[in-house]
Amino acid sequence: MSVLSGSAAKSYLPRLLDTAAEKDAYFVFTDGVSENKVSIVEFRSRVASTATMFLERGVGPRSTVGILIDDNCAFLVSFFAASWAGLIPVPLAPPTSRKYLQSYLHRLQNLFESADCSTVVVSPLLKTVLGKMPEQPPQTIISTSELSTDTHNYIPPHDTTADDIAFLQFSSGSTSQPKGAEVRNSNLDANIRCIAESLGFNARHDVGVSWLPLFHDMGLIGMILAGLSRGLPLVSMPPMSFIKNPAIWLQAISRYNGTHSFAPNFAYGLCDKRINDYQLEGVSLDSWRIAGCGAEPIQHRTLRQFARRFAEFGFRSNALFPCYGLAESTLACTFPQVDAEMIVDRVSREVMVTEGKAIPSEEEGETLSFVNCGKVFGGHDLRIVDSDGHPCAEREVGEVHISGPSVVRGYYNNQAESSSCWDGKWFKTGDLGYLCNDELYVCGRLKECIIVSGKNYYPTDIEQIVCSNPAIRKGNAISFSVCDSTSTEQLIIIAETKEKAKHYASITKELKGAIRGQIGLVPEEVLLVPPGTLPKTSSGKLQRTQARRLYLEGSLPLRSSIKDTLSNVHLALAARWAR
C-alpha cells in the first residue's frame, strides 16, 4: 500500500519508520566482526531527538541540509531527522584522496551553492576538511559527535504533502557537472512501491543485506528505504569492509539469511577474484533470491562467472537480476522477471557499428553482447528515439526516454538543465539502448559514443578488450576520441597498470593489436598510467568526459602515492566501484 494513500499524505520519510516499527523491523550495523542491532522503535527515537537539535540550531523549515557522513547509522539518523524537522536532506559523497582534494572541494562548493546548503552535518574528520574550502563554507557545520542521544523535547514529524521535495539527489556527474534531482514524496512513493511489489518483499521471510554507500541512490533507496516500506530487517555494512574483504558480503548474507542484495558489476567480479574457498566454510547462499546488478555497465561474463563459482555454496544463477535506473527516475526504471535466467543478446558488431541496429548473430568473434534489463515499471513509459526525436523500431539503437510518476520534474535551482533534459513528459536519459519484446538493452552513453570514419563505437566494448589484458587493472581503462588537425576523429586509450615502465612498450603493442584485431580500430595513442590516476565520480564511475578534458589540457595526473590518501574507505571505494 502507498504510504501517501488517504490520510497518510504527510511526512513521508518518517512514516516509513512508522511502517517498519509496526512490523518490529530492525537495523543491524556490522563490519563483519562486531554488530549493533537497533530496533526501528529505538532508531526512530534517535531521529526525533536529532530533529529537535536541528530546530534548536535555528535551521529554518524547508531549508536544505547537506549530509556528509561516512558512518552508516549516523548518516541514516541525520537523513531521517532532517526530514522529520521539515528540512530537505542532501546526501553528499565524502572526498576520495588528497591528490584530488582541491578539485573535490571546488565541486562541493558548487553543490552547496546549487542546493542552497547553509547547514551541513559531517563526520568529525570532514569538519576540518571543510575549513579548507576555496570560498566560504556553509554557515552551520554540525559534527556527528555533537549529536546527542539524550531526549529532547519531542516534536511530531513536520507535515509535508505529496508534492513537496523529500530530498535532493545529485547525479554522479560521470559525463557532466552534477545536478540535483528534486525527488518529491510522490516520486519516492511511486518508485519504492514499484521496487517492493516487483521484488515481492515480505517482512515474514525477507532480509536485506547491503554494503553500498548511502550517498548513492541504490544503497539509500533500493536497499534501505524500499526495505523499510515493507518492514524488512536490514543489515548495513561499511563499503570499506567489503572492499577490504569481499567475503564478508557473502558471509553476512549467509549469517542473516539475506534474501536480496544489490551491487554494481565490479563487486561480483571482485568476489570471484578475491574470495578463497576457505573463507566460505559453512557459508550457504541458498537464501539469496535477488542478486541485483546495476549502477554501471553490466558484463554478462562477470555475472555468469560469479554464478558458476559460487554455485557450490548454494547460489542459484536465476537469482541474477540485472536492471536499469538513474537518479532522475528516483532509482529504478526497468526490472526483469524475478527467478528468470539472465538473458544475453548477441548481435552483429558490423551492423551495430554501421547501421545502429541490433541484429542477432552467432558468428564467433564478430558479435557484441548486451544484457536484458527487463521491462519498464507498470504505470511508467519508456521509448527509444533517433537523433531527430522519432520513435525507433524494435532493435534499432537510439536514446532512452522515460516518463511516469517516479520521474522527477527537474533539477533544483537549474532551470537551464531542466529545460534541456525534459521534452514534455519525457526525460532524455542520454543513454543509448534498444528494445526487443518491450525489454530494454542498454548500449552506452550518448555523449561518450566514439565516432571514427562515420562508424559508432561504444567505449565499454573497447575498454573490455583493454581490460582483458592481465597487465591492466580490471575496470580501469577509459577510451574516447579527439580530433586531429584535419578534424579526423582519433581513438585514445588511457589505462591503469601496476607494471613497471620498462614493460609499457610491449603492453601498448599488445593492446593496439587486440583492439585492431577485434574491432578493426587502431588507437592513435595508448597511455598507461599508475593506479588511482583515472578520474571517477563520487560513486566510482569512470569520467570519460573529464579524462578527455584532462588529456587535451595535458594535465592528467601521472603519479599517485599512498601518502595522498585522505580516507582509505572512500579511496578504495572509488577505485573499485567501476570495476
Segment 376-415, tens digit of pLDDT: 999 999 999 998 999 999 999 999 999 999 999 999 998 9
Domain extent for 463:
450-577
Structural domain includes residue 137: no
Residue 487: partners with Cβ closer than 8 Å, 6 or more residues away: none
User: What is the radius of gyration, based on Cα positions, of the chain?
Assistant: 23
What is the spatial distance between Cα 139 and Cα 427, in angstroms, rounded to a whole number?
35
pLDDT of residue 473: 92
**262's grid cell:** 544489490
Structural domain includes residue 509: yes
Give the CA dihedral 472, 473, 475, 478, nearest 10 degrees: -50
**275's grid cell:** 574470495
Structural domain includes residue 501: yes
CATH for 469: 3.30.300.30
DSSP state of 531: T
Judge contact between 338 and 421, C-beta under 8 A.
Answer: no
Structural domain includes residue 561: yes
What is the spatial distance between Cα 532 and Cα 562, in angstroms, rounded to a whole number?
10
Q: What angle do CA 179, 575, 252 make, to 5 degrees?
A: 100
Structural domain includes residue 533: yes
pLDDT of residue 61: 84
Judge contact between 195 and 222, C-beta under 8 A.
Answer: yes
Give the CA dihedral 186, 188, 189, 192, nearest 10 degrees: 160
Structural domain includes residue 99: no
Judge contact between 545 and 171, C-beta under 8 A.
Answer: no
pLDDT of residue 9: 45
Total domains in the fold of the chain:
1
In the block, cell 526490472 appears at 335
Instruction: Tell me the pLDDT of the chain (579 aa) as tens digits.
Output: 565 554 344 578 999 999 999 999 999 999 999 999 999 999 999 999 999 888 888 888 889 999 999 899 999 999 999 999 999 999 998 876 666 677 778 778 888 988 999 899 999 888 888 878 877 778 889 998 887 656 556 788 998 899 999 999 987 554 456 789 999 999 999 999 999 999 999 999 999 999 999 999 999 999 999 999 999 999 999 998 998 999 999 999 999 999 999 999 989 999 999 999 999 999 999 999 999 999 888 989 999 999 999 999 999 999 999 999 999 999 999 999 999 999 999 999 889 888 999 999 988 778 889 999 999 999 999 999 998 999 999 999 999 999 999 999 999 998 988 999 999 999 999 999 999 999 999 988 887 778 776 677 878 889 989 999 999 998 899 998 887 655 567 899 999 999 998 899 999 999 998 888 888 788 989 999 998 889 887 667 788 888 888 888 787 765 333 223 233 333 333 333 332
Structural domain includes residue 331: no
**165's grid cell:** 521535495
Residue 70: partners with Cβ closer than 8 Å, 6 or more residues away: 94, 123, 126, 238, 567, 569, 570
Judge contact between 397 and 356, C-beta under 8 A.
Answer: yes
CA neighbor of 86 nearest in space, from 122, 66, 121, 59: 59
Instruction: Annotate 477-499 with b (16+ C-beta within 10 A) or e (fewer).
Output: bbbbbeeeeeeebbbbbbbbbee
Structural domain includes residue 462: yes
CA 70 to chain centre: 16
Judge contact between 366 and 449, C-beta under 8 A.
Answer: no
What is the spatial distance between Cα 521 and Cα 104, in angstroms, rounded to a whole number?
35
What is the spatial distance between Cα 373 and Cα 441, in angstroms, rounded to a whole number?
6
